[in-house]
Structure 1
């Protein structure tokens, strides 16, 4: 039979073998010696980076992508007959978006064109009447000259007859006849001059009628131009390159001027960022400084921008109910100022195409005197040596 084997007694939880304790003590002593040195070096490096770079980087996450969205609507009352774009479709400036029924406006245009043609005919008639009246004036002038010549002849006959009556070679009856002829000639001159005056006054009336016809033509031409413009309003086109969206128009819908039908949102480099920085962050900020922009929806891409301009007032002043601090109880609140950041050119077009107005971003402005200096930790360390 085999003899029973005696099991060794188990070690207590607080006990450890000498073999385990020996390697632990030198490691603990090494960590106690090296750890403070590593922490000191890390603190020195971090402090150096902050003093040279970090304190000049101004950051905010109260920033959003913005764009000048064009909200389009009709300029005339009409029915929607066609919608040429789908939701979220890229469009170019000038592309047709919505077509309205143009039949009524085309009829108005044709009527205005007919009115313009009528005024052209009236002007031509007035000009012909002026030319005719000028000929009548010339004829009346000739009548005046003829009457004056007759007056001169009659006056000469009267003088000769009077001299002959005095010498006894002519009768008194002949003298009376020549005097009567002279008076008739004088009256004919007066009548011819009056007729000439009437003809000249008629010329002024006709000239005024011509000016009136020309004024009506100008009015008719303006009405035709307005009719052409109204007819062009039946085609709603994209004013800029962008993406069509927020479409509210439906086929057959009767729309009124000012009604919102569709919107075109800009895309790519035409977008910008509005960052609301605290007033305490604006001390060193000025236009032209570089900005790194990180979009929450595109975390793997860093966009580059520049400070463009500052809002003329804090955001609270443009709110519906601006604050009134002249009250008994006052608590100072740090205000924020909207700052416009413009994206730089030459960036990744694919990444820019993913931007949309309203996206949240994080904007970091470099306010250093040399904004082109490296921002990294090792660059700050190298500057020490």
Structure 2
């Protein structure tokens, strides 16, 4: 049975958001994530599996794809899966695959296309899988989705080279923003493809996220009340993808009222630093890799020397990073998530993203918006609309083009 977060009560740190107009589902879906990760882990033992002999092939290329938040799931997982599998693993968004399939699939090698999709009804989702089948001699599919009735799940349910991995029903977010769906798909895919997942990894990140949910809301609410007009998220390696997801959540849930930007810690100096002004809030997601962390903390020191006090926040899983500027509970400048020692950044990203989800939710509420649907007049939709998927003419391969590549909108 799907576990959900406890009913709001006097001790509920998210009670103000649960009761705010138009915020209930977003608050619920942020809060339920640790319980859902445990559910995903329990289900992994009996979940459909990608054939082991396929993953064992040395010539296999793995492509992780999706649109928007679903694309960032691929960015989070690609480095860890490349290390675990010893294979070529790349994250390529469907929004890059569909207009430029010959670039995405330039190498005709055996490929496992991992498609992340909350609904599976976005136009690019099904089109990307069909284009891969057209351009590649041998393509296998792992569809990771929250919607068993979506176009993507239905198209691959009985396909001979396809595996469909379904998330718990509660992961199919009712609210506009992807929260539970992102993190559940990330956990499920790591468990499905990584042969060396630590036995306690899911429990550790779930416990860490519960700690964030218990202690962080008052702090992030106070930050949201300052209503910074610009917010920058920065990270290294896999956490660059998390920075992009964090910025997207804030941009979405504030309906663009807060300008949010993301970059890598090292890349930020090369021009994008121009976005900074005295009102900007910068959040640095510190890597657990000792080498990458040096670059993150160098940037923290540089930013704190140039921005007003309190405008540079560090999110870290390491106690040693407290000297970056205030231990958790001291001046609030460093938010340390306990219990993550020894886990790589793809695992750390799960409790880290809860901080970003809270800040986006609470900023939306503070601005008087409705985070469950921040675009009530339909300027931006929960499932992307208005995309026409055009048949692909690949020259000699055009004879194989299927006009049905126009996916439902």
TM interval, shorter chain, is under 0.3
Q: How does the TM-score come out when normalised to structure 2? A: 0.14
Q: How does the TM-score come out when normalised to structure 1? A: 0.15
- RCO comparison, higher one (Cα < 8 Å, 6+): 1
Larger radius of gyration: 1
